[in-house]
Structures are given as structure tokens and as C-alpha cells.
Amino acid sequence: MRFDHGRQSLFFIALAALILLHGALTAGAQTAKEAAGHSASYQKQLGYLQYHQEAEKIDEKAHTVDLDKFLALRAKKGTVVLDLRSPAEYAAGHIDGAVQFGADISKENLAKAIPSKNATVLIYCAYSLMPTRMIALTNVSLPQFILQGYKNTYKLGPVWENTGSWDASQKNLARLPMVPKGK
């Protein structure tokens, strides 16, 4: 299965991102009184069309890294690796040094997990590791990270893609420094 990077796919990715973003914002919604107390840096929520237009401006290819580049960036001091999978998937095994982040890409969660908006941020999800879903959470999340000011965010491209065989795919997976279940 090959992921189509055309406009139609981008539309569905943006739609899924909006649904996730709406859920995250609704789950952590503040009262109007609390929202009024925010400083001028408070970022206004984008409407769907605004978000879609902004997401289309992002060069997805420039923010997608292969396994070699991911490992090289991961080794650099100050790089933050975020696992976008569920807590259960994270507990079953994750990349060494990765922080379980999930799908709640709120301003507050980003600020807690990433010390600086200038930091290099690497994100991955289940789709990065194996063909599990039609739409990858990394594809949906990438524009949200970038639009919230984390310009040095990169997603791990599917390590199984273009390997030619299941064995080659498994060899790529074996190159990832994984922490096994329960550690």
C-alpha cells in the first residue's frame, strides 16, 4: 500500500487533524474566564479552512526522515523523541529515550514535553513501524506541531516501506533501539 500525497489525501489528513485537535481542545477546554486571563501570546484556534490553508503550505517531504536520518538526529544532544501511540502501545515497547505523548497535541502538552520551540523534535507512531492504518498519526500531527511553532519537527517515515520483503522490513525495525515491554 502506497500513501498518496495528493491534494485529496491532504484534505483527509487535515480533516483528521482537525478532529483530533478538536477532541484535544475539548478535553482540555478552559472556562471563558481562564481563557480571558491568557497573555497576548495566546494562540487563537484556527477554523478548518484556515488550518487547511496553513497545512498545505508545509513541505511534508522536508519534514519526513528515513530511518538513517532519524537515528542520526536522535543521537544529537537536545533532540526530543515523542511516541504518538497510546500508553498501552508504548508500554509494549518503544524507542529508547522516547516520551509517550499520544494524540493530545495541545499547547500545554507541547510546552511540557519540549523545552524549546527551537529543539529538534522527532515523532513516530504505529504506522512508522508497520502498516497498521490508512492514515498515520504522524501525518495528522506534523502540521499541528509546526503551526504551534515547533518548526524543527520531523516524522519518521515508514521503516517498512520500499524494503521489498518482510525480512528486510524486520531488519530495519531491528535497527531501532527499542525498549522492550515492561521497561
| Structural domain containing residue 31 | 7-39+46-180
Please check the confidence at residue 112 and state whether its pLDDT lies above 90.
Answer: yes
Rounded alpha-carbon distances, angstroms, from residue 147 to 53, 60, 85, 106, 135? 11, 13, 21, 12, 20
How many distinct structural domains can be found in the chain? 1
Please check the confidence at residue 101 and state whether its pLDDT lies above 90.
Answer: yes
Report yes or no on 103 lying in a domain.
yes
The pLDDT tens digits of the residues spanning 1-22 come to 444 445 555 555 555 555 555 5
Which CATH number do you get for residue 32? 3.40.250.10
Report yes or no on 152 lying in a domain.
yes
**CA 25 to mean position of chain CA atoms:** 17
Report yes or no on 29 lying in a domain.
yes
Report yes or no on 2 lying in a domain.
no
pTM for the full predicted model: 0.71
Report yes or no on 27 lying in a domain.
yes
Report yes or no on 101 lying in a domain.
yes
Greater pLDDT, 165 or 9: 165
pLDDT of residue 28: 45
